Structure 1
């Protein structure tokens, strides 16, 4: 019988009193044998329990009961629990306890995001990129920012919060960009932000006209059917960076694929972006994301462009 003690210990040690989005237990980092398929997040006021493999009904009931029972000490902050099963391409979500807020708004780093724990595989914000968003806040003042593969525009919110002059968001998915617009309205960022539902690989002419940019964030999916495959298409973007970047610009280049090591990622950047892009450092993993192998988790690398 599986022991869920590490999850229960993580709940006991969690500080949920700040009512901010956070990861409580990260099994996907492979630091907890037999629990590699389980994550637990706090989307105030709900717990969000995720499994990346199918759990039989009786075992799921046991897991959920233990998690909820342990979380009962935080009744002032935690009012419900959603379970999401992500086995292969099949994703299903279920409310076990409580009634979800509608709309469901969570806060991170002083910014508000509307999330959805039931309808889609992804909730509307990725907790593992917290340090990336914090970095963008610190680097954006008076800068012209480009946010590629913008999803629901978390980096754009961070840039505006940090004092950016303007932000361009580009993602071919109109639905996530519409959610990004909602998030900007939630935070009062109604000006100097643009949203383009375009295929990035076919839009460098437009980006060149809109640039040059002083801060560029590239955070693509590892795979998006029919449009992007990280190990085959990232280099196409890297080759065009010098056309849209200003001298001394900062770049946050991200990859979240266990098949692409940090070394291979850096080699890819050097080969296809060119000598003008110099590596500075890798952002640390967000709190709550222990990893057995740092090459298999999110890689967020900071580069500086110094021209040719």
Structure 2
């Protein structure tokens, strides 16, 4: 690598230090997809995730006061540093621009039509990821531990996955021996993706239902006590034209949780999570026997000290 100036040398050293630490933990746990950098240095507002032999890089939008050419040169130098430190080919580094927002806004936004898909493995299960066509990759790495929790509880259970995205929780439930899995989302694109993920892992699993619906409406149509496990990971805010009303998770979470509790069997549990940084759970409005904050225990090693989401295990 060419001689680095002081600023890029700082980025090089930081990335190398973090990667040495995290790669050892990843190797011990047999994990090949993990986050390695998230805006550690103000001068380098990047998010970097490893997906086996490829890199997903998101640049947070900012006023960098660089010309277009200067910014392009800056980005190319960043890629050269990442390629060197992380041993990834330049052509296997995929860069996206994203705004720093409270929650997973814009996850349904399609960016390109390249169909740049490949399959990665997590805990013995396979998932289709796409580092080019969408703002998010298809696999939220921060829920790795929570997914495994659901897997361990799913034996002979009926599982409902709300705001299911690409169905990773549904696949984990099937892997745990679930009797039935229902995946609900408003995006047909992601429901197809969820179905493909399920078929990729369990082509003979016949008890996976795909429901294209607004979750708030669908919950009202479901029967009391129908499920043993419910997973709900909603966006912070959504105002899709296909919805009767907009969703605001701070305003609506108690109502959504209470509807989920109604659907739970007597010993059922709800895993509820949100990426809204200022979220405050309204205990007094929730009709459940126990609300346990499991944010800390579900935080993966690569998100330690940097996880901006909350996770709760709620018992009927």
Q: TM-score, normalization: structure 2? A: 0.80
1:244-299 CA deviation, whole Å, 9 max, x = no partner? 11111122111111111xxx22xx2x23321434437443311111326x6xx121
Residues 93, 118 of structure 1: 8 Å contact kept: yes
1:246-285 to 2 correspondence within 5 Å?
246-260=265-279, 264-265=280-281, 268=282, 270-279=283-292, 281-282=294-295, 283-285=297-299
Alignment partner, residue 302 of structure 1: 313
Change in Cα spacing, 1:275 to 1:93, as seen in structure 2 (3 Å) is closer
Q: Distance in 1 between matches of 2:36 and 2:289?
A: 40
**What displacement does 1:199 show?**
0.6
SS in structure 2 opposite 1:240?
A: helix
**What displacement does 1:101 show?**
9.6
1:138-180 CA deviation, whole Å, 9 max, x = no partner? 1111111111111111110010001111111111111101100
Matched, 1:46 2:63: no
Q: TM-score, normalization: structure 1? A: 0.82
Gaps of 5+ in 2: 1-6, 65-70, 241-245
SS in structure 1 opposite 2:164?
A: coil
SS in structure 1 opposite 2:303?
A: coil
Gaps of 5+ in 1: 95-99
1:153-172 to 2 correspondence within 5 Å?
153-172=167-186
Q: Distance in 2 between matches of 1:92 and 1:160?
A: 28
Residues 223, 229 of structure 1: 8 Å contact kept: yes
SS in structure 1 opposite 2:231?
A: strand
Q: Distance in 1 between matches of 2:45 and 2:163?
A: 27
Change in Cα spacing, 1:147 to 1:93, as seen in structure 2 (3 Å) is closer
Alignment partner, residue 232 of structure 1: 251
Larger deviation: 240-249 or 175-184?
240-249
Residues 157, 184 of structure 1: 8 Å contact kept: yes
Q: Distance in 1 between matches of 2:45 and 2:17?
A: 17
Q: Distance in 1 between matches of 2:34 and 2:115?
A: 18
Count of residues paired in the alignment:
283
Alignment partner, residue 126 of structure 2: 112
RMSD: 2.8
Q: Distance in 2 between matches of 1:201 and 1:228?
A: 9
1:18-29 to 2 correspondence within 5 Å?
18=30, 20-27=32-39
1:71-90 CA deviation, whole Å, 9 max, x = no partner? 23x77xx9721111213699
Which of residues 183, 200, 207 in structure 2 aligns to 1:192? Answer: 207
After superposing on structure 2, the runs of 4+ consecutive aligned residues of structure 1 that deviate more than 6 Å are 88-94
Residues 116, 130 of structure 2: 8 Å contact kept: no
Which of residues 144, 150, 155 in structure 2 aligns to 1:130? Answer: 144
